[in-house]
Amino acid sequence: MSIWRYFLRAFSVKGIKYGMILLLIALFLSIIAIVPREEDSFDGILKDEKITLNENIPEITFTGIIPSELKFLNIMDREYKFTLQQNETRGFKTDDVLEIEISGEVRYEYTTLGYPYSLLGIPAFLLFIVGILLVMKSTSVYISEVTEEIKEKSKKH
């Protein structure tokens, strides 16, 4: 019997088969848990203000009402300055932005993201643990059975 037959036969063992199914379900649930969804949209006018961003804002768009200057402070304490002219619109990614200081007057728009299915991560983790334990236990039993089978075959020859 070739090694591939032993490998394919392993998937007929109940513990390995059910453990792999649990692992696939855990993978599916964990992928669903990390999918973001747009929650709320906000807009308004800021004039000579400093705002602190939360981490659920992926992008923010500013439109200059009057010529304005925007200063972005990122995680590494670096400042980036941008100038907006009247009626100029510009979108900014806020990956590493902590604060934005506005000198002038701008209109802002942003949408927050939420993770409504994040609680699915808990059962995914539990299914992952149970699946790994089932696969490991069943694999060790299967390997010992195959080893005994190979020893018996070698004694016959």
**Whether 20 and 43 share a structural domain:** no
pLDDT at 124: 97
**Whether 108 and 41 share a structural domain:** yes
**Residues linked to residue 71 through DSSP beta bridges, in sequence order:** 81, 101
pTM of the model: 0.65
**Whether 49 and 25 share a structural domain:** no
Checking if the pLDDT of 1 tops 70, the result is: no
**Whether 126 and 105 share a structural domain:** no
Q: Which of 64, 114, 116, 57 has its CA nearest to residue 89?
A: 64
Domain span holding position 56? 37-114
**Whether 77 and 110 share a structural domain:** yes
Mean of the pLDDT values across residues 129-156? 90
**Whether 12 and 26 share a structural domain:** yes
Structure letter (DSSP) for residue 118:
G
**Whether 85 and 125 share a structural domain:** no
Cα separation, 15 vs 128, in Å, equals 14
Q: For 5-63, how does the pLDDT look when each residue is reduced to its tens digit (9 = 90+)?
A: 877 888 888 999 999 999 999 999 999 999 988 888 888 898 998 888 877 788 889 99
Whichever domain contains 53, its CATH number is: 2.60.120.770
**Whether 47 and 106 share a structural domain:** yes
Higher pLDDT, 122 or 10: 122
pLDDT at 5: 81
State which of 81, 97, 114 marks the end of a domain.
Answer: 114
Q: Which of 53, 51, 52, 46 has its CA nearest to residue 68?
A: 46
Q: Which of 94, 90, 41 has its CA nearest to residue 68?
A: 90
Domain count, the chain: 2
